[in-house]
Structures are given as C-alpha cells and as structure tokens.
Amino acid sequence: MEVRDFLIRIKIGTTFNIKKQHQIYKEVNNVTSFSASRWVTTTNLIENSQKDATIRMLHSEQLKRKVKENEQNGGIITILDAAYPAALKEIFCPPTVIFYRGNVTLLNQTRLVAIVGSRVMTDYGKQAVKCLIPGLVGNQLITVSGLAKGVDAMVHLLTLNSAGATIAVVGNGLDVTYPKQNRILQSQIEKRGILISEYPKGARPLRHHFVERNRIIAGLAKATCVVEAKKQSGSLITANLALNENRNVLAIPGSIFSENSNGTNALIAAGARPLVELADILEEV
C-alpha cells in the first residue's frame, strides 16, 4: 500500500480527528520503506487496543468499496499530490485529503479572495456584496466562501452570474447539500467552479465541521473579507484563522447600532483593514 492510498484509507475508514490525521501524515511521510501494517504496529499515535482492528480495517474489502465509492463521487487529492493547493500546505494542520467536484486547477491560482459573513444579511450587506463582486471578477480574482446561506451563497451566485470562478468549501460530503436551498447553486458551482470538502461521501454537516472548514477557506485565500458579522460569529473565526496564518483581513464597517456590524467593527478596531472600496481588496491580493 502506497502512502497516498494509506492517507485516503485513514480519512475514509477511521474516526480520527483532523489533528490526528495530520500527525499520521507527518510520521508516515518520513518512512523510507512504508508498510501500513508495520507502521500501525510500531506507532505511538494509535492506541495498542486499536492496532489490530485498525490493520484489519485498512485491508478490508468494505473499506476498499468505500474508497471506490468516493472516487466515483468526485476527485480526490492528497497532500502528497501536485494538484494539492500550495497555500494550504502553509497553514496549521492542513487537510491530508480533499474531495472535490469541478475545476481543480482553481485551487492553485494565486489571486484568491475569501468573502464570508452573516447567514442573515441586511440590505446593507447585500448592497456591499453586489457592489464588490463584479469588480473582483473583472480583475480576475477568484472568490472563496463556504456555501452557507446569506453572504456565502450570495458571493458564489453573483460570482457565477458575473462569469467568474468561485470555490465553495463545505462541511459535509460532496453528495450532501446543506442548506437544502442551495442545491441548484451547489450544482452550478460544480460545473463552473469547484466544490471541495475534507469529509468523505455521506458525511453529515456536523457543527464542528464548520469550524474546521473555516481554516481551509482562510488558508486558500491571500485575503479574507468579512461583510457582516455579529460579535459571536463563525465569520470571525475565519478572520482570526486568517490572521493566525499571516493572511490579510478586511472588514466592511457598519453602523454602531447594527448587530450585524458589531463583529466587523470589532475586527477593524483590532487592526483589520476597513473595506470601503474595491481598491482595498485589490491592494491586498
């Protein structure tokens, strides 16, 4: 079994968290003559009580079928592949395996900008997105977002409507649509952009998946823009992850009386660049 196949089987066949998966990659990537069974037997990353079951699982016909099902569900990239996004390799705990549908070459383009924000947009937020997207597309920037309702969905939709390319990072399997209202949009992104996930076929949209996928959104892009966000918002998590990875962060300022602008105003107060015109983004990417 090659290391690449091993990483895919670990991703699909185990319940190891993303940190453990990355630790496994770091360890096996340095093995000169790799044997999955021998590595499992000797590693300290897997409990002794789990070793025999893990070896059986890695070589099982059931897992082989699951891998084939995922291959038929879309493309698979591992961190060992040339097609793996170079920008993601730089982040803390990069995904070891990415499942995708669409144009994989978009992942290694250099002018990527992440745009995230509230699931419940105000008219102000909608106007801001409508104002920015055509200019970004006109300057050959590729948008990245999370295909959530609200800001994310609008970013993807307006990018496609402007004949641009967009990357959607989801917190579930590629065969799952969440939220359901984005079914048609998700299909359009697969055809005209790219849909990616680090979760295999059938994976449900669990709460912790969205926190984990935020690091991928922030990691792919040179800059992350927050349109609207409350003080306790997943968009702020994405922005902070971007800052931790030395990426540029911008935020659209808003009214001090608007709950949806409390988070963006706080980001600006903490040092994020105010996003008041298209040129602000262009200068950061």
**Residue 265 covered by a domain:** yes
Report the relative pairing of strands 75-78 and 97-102 from DSSP bridges. antiparallel
Among 53, 73, 93, where does a domain finish?
73
8-25 b/e with 16+ CB inside 10 Å = b? bbbbbbbebebeebbbbb
Closest CA to 250 of 216, 222, 230, 219: 222
Q: What is the pLDDT of residues 144-173, one digit of tens each?
A: 999 999 999 999 999 999 999 999 999 999
CB 227 within 8 A of CB 264: yes
On whether both 262 and 193 belong to a single domain, the answer is: yes
CA distance 275 to 43: 48
CA distance 155 to 114: 9
On whether both 110 and 228 belong to a single domain, the answer is: yes
Strand partners, 98: 77
Give 196's Cβ-side CA count (13 Å radius). Answer: 27
- Domain region containing 60: 3-73
Q: How many domains does the chain have?
A: 2
pLDDT at 1 over 90: no
Side by side, which strands form the sheet with 223-226? Answer: 75-78, 97-102, 194-197, 166-169, 142-145, 112-116, 223-226, 248-251, 273-274
CB 178 within 8 A of CB 172: yes
Structure tokens at 45: 């990353």
On whether both 176 and 265 belong to a single domain, the answer is: yes
Q: What is the pLDDT of residues 204-240, one digit of tens each?
A: 999 999 999 999 999 999 999 999 999 888 899 999 9
Give me the chain's average pLDDT, please. Answer: 96
**Residue 83 covered by a domain:** no
CB 107 within 8 A of CB 218: no
121: three-class secondary structure by DSSP: coil
CA distance 72 to 231: 41
**Residue 163 covered by a domain:** yes
On whether both 260 and 149 belong to a single domain, the answer is: yes
Question: In percent, how much of the chain has pLDDT > 90?
Answer: 95
CB 171 within 8 A of CB 213: yes
Structure tokens at 249: 């962060």
Tell me what pLDDT residue 233 has: 84
CA distance 30 to 131: 49
**Residue 32 covered by a domain:** yes
